């Protein structure tokens, strides 16, 4: 995922912090972890762990975020497909946890 998309994702996460709080906190930690890794800063070898999450609310929040980025793709203003793919992969993983 390009750095500009990672930055846009962080801004979108910040805008959704009132929804699916534990998921958004975890995703923010992931973005910070990835930025540290890319910047050759001291990043932990292990990815942040996801705490208990309301899977239904988290899946809905991820769907809304993906739709926001998909709109950018559809209007041709940016190529956010990697971000949409990441959000969809996380949503699908949560769906498997719920099933």
Three-state secondary structure along the chain? CCHHHHHHHHHHHHHCCCCCHHHHHHHHHHHHHHHHHHCCCCCCCCCCCCCCCCHHHHHHHHHHHHHHHHHHHHCCCCCCHHHHHHHHHHHHHHHHHHC
Per mean pLDDT, which range of 34-38, 47-51, 79-83 is the poorest?
47-51
CA dihedral 75, 31, 50, 21 (to 10 degrees): -60
* pLDDT the model gives residue 74: 64
pLDDT higher at 76 or 29: 29
Query: pLDDT above 70 covers what percent of the chain?
Result: 88
Q: Check whether 71 has a pLDDT greater than 80.
A: no
The pLDDT tens digits of the residues spanning 12-39 come to: 888 777 777 888 888 888 888 888 888 8
């Amino acid at each position: 995922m390009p750095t500009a998309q990672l930055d846009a994702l962080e801004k979108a996460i910040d805008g959704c912090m009132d929804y699916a709080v534990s998921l958004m906190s975890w995703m923010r930690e992931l973005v910070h972890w990835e930025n540290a890794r890319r910047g050759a800063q001291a990043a932990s070898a292990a990815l942040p762990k996801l705490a208990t999450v309301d899977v239904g609310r988290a899946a809905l929040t991820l769907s809304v975020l993906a739709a926001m980025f998909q709109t950018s793709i559809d209007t041709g203003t940016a190529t956010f497909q990697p971000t949409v793919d990441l959000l969809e992969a996380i949503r699908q993983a949560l769906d498997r946890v719920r099933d």
